[in-house]
Amino acid sequence: MDKLNVAIIGQGRSGRDIHGKFFRSEANDKFRVVAVVDALEDRRERAKAEYGCDVYADYHELFKRSDIDLVINSTFSYMHVPVTIDLLEHGFNVISEKPFAKTYEDGCRAIAAAKKSGKLLNVFQQSRFAPYYKLIKEVLASGVLGKIAQISISFSGFARRWDWQTSQYYAGGNVRNTGPHPIDQALDLLGFPEDVEVVSRLGRFDTFGDADDYAKILLIVPGKPLIDIEISSCDCYAPYLYRIMGSEGGLRATLGSVEYKYVDQSKLENRVQQLAPLSKPDGTPSYCTEKLEFIEKKIDVESGAFNSAVKQYYDMIYAALTENRPMEITPEQVLTQLKVIDKIHAQTPLTIFS
């Protein structure tokens, strides 16, 4: 199998500890890192030692090369679109870290640049391939939970933060930093509708910057389940990523397990509405209740959800570049996410610190 040559721009938490970690791992058999770009000298020296590649302080140096098959754009969030467009216009295939763009309009500009250049553009929404999420979709597709009333998603915890991800100028905040994962999954479950009603509230509680560290988001689409998303840095009790309520059962999930139970239909008594007061055998009032028997299942999944998801993501990219296969994740899908994020920020505009 021929390996593709990769350049990574940025050796921060994503560029090094997610993308780079995968490329350095035994799971990677399809890509070779030939160049790394970072403004910090110590990161360049570390990259040279870890990848055995060429290093640069300025990504424009990549334009002098003709051996690069794919560039990973892991720059600061506010730089994603301008750097992506520059790379596309110079003939490179590009994967942009999330958030894809600061606004819907900027995302459209990046997609237009990709179409004009004829090059591949994708967004690193690898959580679509996370084992727990794929299993949740399988359970929902089976129908055992019945008609779904609500899907609650919580990517939350308790933490203080003071880095660049707390800056609105840098396109930071929980919604743009963490939000692309649960919002992408939610929109996938809804079928990526053209328009989504959004009800939301943002807040700042334990952040040292001017961006949000709390978000409550309701996504409403006629005929679909209500989706309730929380992305909070002030939740000390956040054990479950997912809780799903259905007419015949429910589900709860973490990164490492999916539990669900549903009513044993063979044990249900036939019921019809009764408007007359209910009574116990002795004639005293009775509450309307019955003992239900459930079928319960728990499935442990790979706890390293990001590791498995990253490999599947890059397998998709490799197949797209070498075999022209369609991609399961597309920039056009992510545009729907950007519309939602724009609505969220419009509904609760936060003051920008000077």
Instruction: Indicate if 29 and 97 belong to the same structural domain.
Output: yes
pLDDT at residue number 159: 95
Confirm whether 353 is domain-assigned: no
| Statement to judge: residues 112 and 209 lie in one domain | no
Pair (140, 264) in one structural domain: yes
Number of independent structural domains in the chain = 2
Torsion, CA 167, CA 170, CA 175, CA 176, rounded to 10: -160
Whether the per-residue pLDDT at 230 is higher than 70: the answer is yes
Average pLDDT, the chain: 95
Looking at the fold, whether 170 and 220 belong to one and the same domain comes out as: yes
Residue 312 lies in a domain: no
Tell me, yes or no, whether 251 and 149 share the same domain.
yes
3-state secondary structure of 236: coil
Residue 103 forms part of a structural domain: yes
Query: What is the span of the domain harbouring residue 198?
Result: 128-307+337-347
Q: What is the pLDDT of residue 353?
A: 82
Task: Please identify, among 124, 151, 169, the residue that sits at the C-terminal boundary of a domain.
Answer: 124
Q: How confident is the model at residue 303 (pLDDT cuts 50, 70, 90)?
A: low
Compare 248 and 352 and report the one with higher pLDDT: 248
What proportion of the chain, given as a percentage, has pLDDT over 90? 92
Domain boundary among 124, 149, 181: 124
Where among 90, 107, 124 does a domain terminate?
124
Query: Are 201 and 342 members of one domain?
Result: yes
- Among the residue ranges 48-62, 226-240, 304-318, 337-351, the one predicted with the least confidence is 304-318
Question: Secondary structure of 190-208 in the HEC alphabet?
Answer: HCCCCCCEEEEEEECCCEC
Residues 165 and 250 in one domain: yes
- 204 located within any domain: yes
With cut-offs at 50, 70 and 90, classify the pLDDT of residue 352: confident
The pLDDT score that the predictor gives to residue 23 is 97
15, 99: one domain: yes
Identify whether 99 is preceded by a cis peptide bond (ω within 30 of 0). yes
Q: How confident is the model at residue 232 (pLDDT cuts 50, 70, 90)?
A: very high
Residues 213 and 289 in one domain: yes
Specify if 315 maps to a domain. no
The predicted model scores a pTM of 0.94
Q: What digits encode the pLDDT tens for the residues 103-140? A: 999 999 999 999 999 999 999 999 999 999 999 999 99
